[in-house]
Structure 1
Amino acid sequence: MGGWLPILSGIVLVDLVLSGDNALVIGAVAAGIPMNLRWIAFLVGGGGAILLRILLTYSVTLLLGIPYIEVLGGVILVIITIRLLLQRDDGNGTSPKDS
């Protein structure tokens, strides 16, 4: 029973951090609109953030059920890393390809 508790705690912690970030963004955007529309912006922005988080979490759960999808993701990350290392800046503002 206790094996899932640390996992759930981690998910809840990440969700709280993301929710706080969303609240700051929504508040900053809503500060520039008229007072009578501000509550609508809060509700639509917050509701949209919650709905998107649920839909994207469900989508990722479905994707992770595909066999070898994690291996494919790892291979893609290795390719991206190699490309970034090959394009690395040599310190004078030009890439090795430019010289």
Structure 2
Amino acid sequence: MEWLLLGLLKIIVINIVLSGDNAVVIALACKNLPPEQRKKAVFFGSFGAIVLRFVLTIAAVWLLQIPFVQLTGGILLLWIALKLMQGEAEGGKLEGSTRLAKAIKTIMIADLVMSLDNVVAVAGAASGNYLLIALGLAVSIPLIIWGSRLLMTLMSRFPVIVIVGVALLGYTSGEMILKEKRLANITDALPHALHTIIPLVLAVGIVLAGRLLQHYRQMHESRTDAGTSTPQR
């Protein structure tokens, strides 16, 4: 009984640590939704993400043997961060149902990607006990939901948190890329400082790239609006 409780405690602690990034993604994906749709997106996105994480944990050993899975996941997370940064400029232009579905999809994909390098820790703590894995993940659901709601409230008051959240995803993607085993001959030869500098560069770079895309999109929309408002002669 003691080993069961100890294993469950380990999984809960691991999931608490991992829930930070997930809460950031959920908050970023849902912050532009109407208030009545936020709860739906947070619940269904979190629930779907937890189910996917359970499947990932069971298949952890097999999954991490797929060639370049960490590299692919890191690049995909960069793309997600860029899309979330663009969403900051799009605001409420999309139709409600489309935005709700899009938010849920973003949450699930991002959680799937970010869990790639963490499922082994959960699987190891559970020692192959699927009941422990399920219980540990179930406990993490309210933590993720509560954390994402708190972040959404803070983002509405302090918009700079959005930038910090996107930068965090960029940093995480850099860490994932550097952990790719099939690039170990290259990454292991790099100076230790670069293992911090590269994720930092990606964190800053994804924010700057998002800002540039926002700027060009706004310029294009301004020109389009000016063209359509020109009176016909």
Question: TM range, normalised to the smaller chain?
Answer: 0.5 to 0.7
Structure 2 stretches lacking a partner, 5+ long? 64-179, 192-233
For 1:25 and 1:83, the matched residues in 2 are separated by: 30
For 1:85 and 1:50, the matched residues in 2 are separated by: 33
CA radius of gyration, larger in:
1
Aligned to 1:81: 184
Three-state SS of the structure 1 residue aligned to 2:32 is coil
Kindly provide the CA deviation profile for residues 18-63 of structure 1, in whole angstroms up to 9, marking residues without a partner as x. 22331232122211111121111111211111111111011116x3
Cα offset for 1:7?
4.8
Amino acid of the structure 2 residue aligned with 1:13? V
Aligned to 1:14: 14
Amino acid of the structure 2 residue aligned with 1:58? I
Q: 1:26–1:42: 8 Å Cα contact kept in structure 2?
A: yes
Amino acid of the structure 2 residue aligned with 1:32? N
Amino acid of the structure 2 residue aligned with 1:17? V
For 1:19 and 1:85, the matched residues in 2 are separated by: 28
Aligned to 1:50: 50
For 1:11 and 1:58, the matched residues in 2 are separated by: 14
Question: Higher helix proportion, which one?
Answer: 2
Identity of aligned residues (%): 33
Q: 1:30–1:41: 8 Å Cα contact kept in structure 2?
A: yes
Number of residues of Structure 1 aligned to a counterpart in Structure 2: 75
Instruction: Go from structure 1 to structure 2 and tell me whether the alpha carbon gap of 1:84 and 1:19 turns closer, same or farther (over 3 Å shift).
Output: closer
Under a length normalisation based on structure 2, what TM-score does the superposition of the two structures give?
0.27
Cα offset for 1:11?
2.5
For 1:6 and 1:80, the matched residues in 2 are separated by: 35
Q: Which has the higher contact order (CA 8 A, sep 6+)?
A: 2
For 1:6 and 1:58, the matched residues in 2 are separated by: 19
Instruction: Go from structure 1 to structure 2 and tell me whether the alpha carbon gap of 1:26 and 1:4 turns closer, same or farther (over 3 Å shift).
Output: same
Aligned-residue RMSD, C-alpha: 3.0
Three-state SS of the structure 1 residue aligned to 2:33 is coil
Cα offset for 1:16?
1.3
Cα offset for 1:10?
3.0
For 1:83 and 1:21, the matched residues in 2 are separated by: 27
Amino acid of the structure 2 residue aligned with 1:11? I
For 1:43 and 1:7, the matched residues in 2 are separated by: 26
Under a length normalisation based on structure 1, what TM-score does the superposition of the two structures give?
0.54
